[in-house]
Amino acid sequence: MAIILDARSLCKAFGAVVAASEVSAAIEKDSIVGLIGTNGAGKTTFINIVTGYLKPDRGSIAYEGRDITRLPPRDITRLGICRSFQIPQLYGSLSVFENMMIGIGIVLRNAGLAGYFSRGAALVPGYGEPADAVAERILGRFGLLEYRDRNAQVLPGGARKLLDIALAMVARPRILLLDEPTSGVSAQEKFGIMQMVLEAVRAEGATVLFVEHDMEVVSRFAQRVLAFYDGRIIADAPPHAALAHPEVKRYVVGTRA
Amino acid sequence: MNHAGKRRDRTVAVLLTSFSILVVTGPWLPQWAMFIMTVAVARGLVVLGLLLLLRAGLVSFGQALFYCLGAYSAGALGRFFGISDIFVEMLVGGAVAAATAFVLGFLLARYRGIFFGLLSLALSMILYGLLVKSEALGSTDGFNILPSTLFGIRPGAEWVRYAVLVSAAAVALVAALLVHRYLDTPLGRLAPAIKDNEIRVEYMGASARRAVHVKYVIAGGLAGVGGALAATAVGHIDPEMAYWTTSGEFIFIAILAGTGNVVAPFVGALIYGAIHTLAYDLSPNTWQMTLGVALLLLIVFLPNGLWSAFSRFRWR
């Protein structure tokens, strides 16, 4: 299968703390990859490097053969790599619908369809619908329509998480990085949320990388697992093989090998 | 924000109606009222620019920089080139201020919060310091501005104030309509998003810094136009126009008015002018106290500005 994202020998240290050490991974197009590891193992650092928030000390990242190592987050987003956040990053003073409209406005702007005096009435590229219809469609897909006019600040935790992911979906990413999509969500809701998110994402045909602590979720939804420990990738295999790996058992899952 | 026509937006109608009423009833207004209104329009233009920045969460304590630049550009046109046409003065004042804001914007757009505020304040005080030291521009005394002309015609003495007021109002009308339109575009709507969560803005593919830079240039240009207008209305300019208290006045008006609508800055400036004049008339030595009490009452009872009282009648 074609490689869409190729990370090579990424290294990143914060003082004495090594957050990434020779991290290499080639991600296949349309795959679903689970990133596992204890807190501080380097999962979020990996996501931060891929999305341009952190610059690696060494190593490189190629997206469809193009080097994106030094690009800022907005340029990487424009290329089609989007992310969600462990702590939802929303526009707290705006309604759920307005949150979506901000994102769609940026998409229109980046497509050259919204200038200083154009209201952005054009059809949203990739959707072929006007902005408000697109916003409602995505909200509907994530089950958020009932919160449409609620302030983003006062949403329940699960809805905040979903809105954060919905915002990342607006630009129709080719690669979507989800940082702990089910953290802070009750155990019963976890599978529902993952199901909903992955269905929405797969409908758009995107490659997904998600950080997850619940091994049941990982083995059910991931096709491949990258296990992080101490800034390194200690296992890179399909879920059953990765979770059976002795180092993963000892350092990540927490059972004796 | 856009709610797909659920609420009717009457801003354009209100602006056009107010302008028409002003043009028709203007000749019957007393001279002092025309003067207060012209100065209010000048200040309103500055605050209109401030509104753009405030919506993005940025408080500029230095809009006096651009106000003063606009005024001195207008003054220089008369002093060095003998030009006194009010529209040329406003155009040049706005252009000089906007160009300066464009250059300074590369620095300022990197800062937020108190750093942005204090840096803008420092820059305006630099201009103040320069003007105070420059003999050619009248030092602390400043200099007088040539009487205004309109497309090469000098209106009769009793018509000057009316001509200046209508010209000012016409420019303010166009500015308000353009800003109103801008606020309803995806770019304009980015302001509250930048205020709320700049990282998310970047991660959705937009440059917050660039958006701030654009707003800063627009605000600078509007302040320059306002400064040129104030110069020609008052007939005199001095370095006080760049002093930090002048910037404070603009922020005062912005808080008084609220940032809800492009009409608000002009209403706020007019009320500020009226309170100021009244307070000064009643007690010339303690007028600041009256203004202070007015602001205090407002913050307690209408924390979102005077405009929040209007918006209860379903305006926006």
Query: CA-CA distance, B303 to B190, in Å (whole number)?
Result: 23
Which candidate in B198, B203, B210 is best for mutational testing of the A interface (most A CBs within 10 A)? B203
**The predicted structure's pLDDT at residue B166:** 93
Check: CB of residue A20 under 8 Å from CB of residue A45.
yes
Residue of A nearest to B195 (CA): A91
- Pick from B186, B197, B200: which is nearest to A105 by CB? B186
**The predicted structure's pLDDT at residue A256:** 54
**The predicted structure's pLDDT at residue B19:** 94
**The predicted structure's pLDDT at residue B144:** 85
* Residue B110 in tokens: 């990197």
> What letter represents residue B185's amino acid?
T
- Pick from B1, B203, B205: which is nearest to A110 by CB? B205
Number of helical H runs and strand E runs in chain A: 9, 10
| ipTM over the 0.95 cut-off | no
The model's pTM = 0.90
Give the distance, in angstroms, between the CA of residue A1 and the centroid of all CA atoms in the same chain.
21
**The predicted structure's pLDDT at residue B315:** 45
Whether residue A94 and residue B197 make contact (CB cut-off 8 A), yes or no, is: no
Check: CB of residue A215 under 8 Å from CB of residue A242.
no
Q: Is B5 on the interface with A (CB under 8 A)?
A: no
**The predicted structure's pLDDT at residue B216:** 96
Which residues, other chains included, contact B284 with Cβ-Cβ below 8 Å and sequence gap of 6+?
Answer: none
Query: CA-CA distance, A203 to B41, in Å (whole number)?
Result: 54
Query: CA-CA distance, B247 to B47, in Å (whole number)?
Result: 10
Check: CB of residue A26 under 8 Å from CB of residue A3.
yes
Per-residue CA distances from A54 to A15, A66, A75 (Å): 14, 18, 14
Domains of chain A plus CATH, in order, are 1-77+213-257 (3.40.50.300)
Check: CB of residue A89 under 8 Å from CB of residue A51.
no
Which candidate in A54, A83, A89 is best for mutational testing of the B interface (most B CBs within 10 A)? A89
Residue A217 host element (H or E): helix A215-221
Intervals of chain B under pLDDT 70: 1-8, 310-316
Alpha helices in B184-207 (DSSP H): 190-196, 198-203
Whether residue B197 and residue A107 make contact (CB cut-off 8 A), yes or no, is: no
**The predicted structure's pLDDT at residue B313:** 56
Residue A146 DSSP class: G
DSSP reduced 3-state for B268? helix
Which residues, other chains included, contact A56 with Cβ-Cβ below 8 Å and sequence gap of 6+?
Answer: A10, A11, A12, A20, A49, A69
pLDDT digits (tens, 9 = 90+) for B12-71: 999 999 999 999 998 889 988 999 999 999 999 999 999 999 999 999 999 999 999 999
Intervals of chain A under pLDDT 70: 119-120, 255-257
Domains of chain B plus CATH, in order, are 11-311 (1.10.3470)
The contact set of A with B (CB < 8 A) is 51, 72-74, 77-78, 82-83, 89-94, 98, 101-110, 114-120, 132, 167-168, 170-171
- Kind of pairing between the strands at A224-229 and A32-36: parallel
**The predicted structure's pLDDT at residue A124:** 85
